Structures are given as C-alpha cells and as structure tokens.
Amino acid sequence: MKAIVLNGIGQADRNLDYVGGIAADELRGHGCKVESTILRDLAIAPCMGCFGCWVQTPGICLIDDAAREVTRKMIQSHLVVYLTPITFGGYSSDLKKVLDRSIGLISPFFTRINGEVHHRKRYAQAPKLLGVGIAHEPVGEGARIFKALIERNAINMHNKAHAACVVSEDQSATEMHELMRAALHELGIMS
C-alpha cells in the first residue's frame, strides 16, 4: 500500500516535526510504503482561482510547479495523510496551499451526494484519507472543526474512506501511536 504524508508543519512549528516521524513509523508498521513530503520546503504558488485545471488543461493545474507532482502522487496513492498543526480548527497554510491546487483531481461537473451538490469524480478510485491534526489540547472546538473539515473534504474529493485523529503536543509518543493506530484501523488498514 502506497501512502503519501503531506506534512503541513510550517517553519514556525518545526519543533512538531517528530510527529511526522511517528506517523511515518506507524504507517510502515501497517505495511505501507511511505513517502513524506515536507510542504514548507517546496516552492508552491497559491491557487489563482482560474479553473484552468478544469477547462483549459483538464486535470492539470496551469501553474507548473511542485504542486503538480504532489497532486499526481496523491491520486496514485492508496492513502493520503494530511499532517498539520490545527490552525483555528483547520489546516495550516502550507498544507492548504497544495490542497487548493489539487481540485483538478475532481471533475468540474456537478452531482448530488446525500442530497447536497458536489463535484463529480474524475478518477475511478480516490485514495483513503487520514487527517492527523496536532492540537494544543486534544478535546475542544478546534478538534471538532478539524474532524468536520476532514469529513467534508472526503465527500468533495471522493475519498473512499476517511478518518481523523487529533494528537496533542503534551502526549507521549506511545499515546500518539495508539491514536494513529486506531485511526488506521478505522480506515480498514491493519498491521
């Protein structure tokens, strides 16, 4: 199983990098071939909102930078991991920058899912999605919003399964491993 970790830990939060290592170890322990991408190290321009990835070069962003390769790897993986400090309940700007650039992975055309309008699939198979949020405290409003965001993203990006786990800075590595393991099991990924 191929897994890509989109590490959205920003420059100011580098002290949290060890959480990326814990996630990668846990994934390897579950038989995944892991590729970790440190997004802060990549030159990725923000989305221009032009929809060129839908109507000019369908499926490929017009901006030719590192986001194209990251996006390609996302759709070619079995599991995508969003690793991020929980930022006001959502993702860091480093992670969000690549996600904004990934909408070419879905179709512009509308469809209806559970009574709501969303965009159709482009690819027959989308990867499973695991959100790993790093919070100042594990239970709270930020964690609730983060989990809701992962759920909404999974609907819109047609991820075939999704789970979110929230770890906090004051937890031990063992506790973090346990939380990530539980989330992987929720996704049907067993060691």
Query: Per rule CB under 8 A, is residue 7 in the interface with another protein?
Result: no
In whole angstroms, how close is the CB of 71 to another protein at the nearest point?
Answer: 7
Residue from 43, 110, 170, 190 in contact with another protein (CB under 8 A): 110
Could you give the C-alpha distances from 179 to 160, 173, 183, in angstroms and in order? 21, 10, 6
Q: Which is nearer to another protein, 110 or 190 (CB)?
A: 110
Query: Per rule CB under 8 A, is residue 126 in the interface with another protein?
Result: no
Residue from 7, 71, 159, 168 in contact with another protein (CB under 8 A): 71
What six digits make up the tokens of 81? 């991991």
Answer for the pair 155, 126: CB distance below 8 angstroms, yes or no. no
- CA nearest 92: which of 133, 44, 137? 133
Phi, psi of 19 (to 5 degrees): -65, -35
- CA nearest 26: which of 163, 170, 157? 163
Which residues lie near another protein (CB under 8 A)?
A: 10, 46-49, 51, 54-60, 71-72, 75-76, 87-93, 96-97, 99-100, 102-103, 105, 107-110, 116-118, 122-123, 141-142, 145, 148-149, 152-153, 156-157
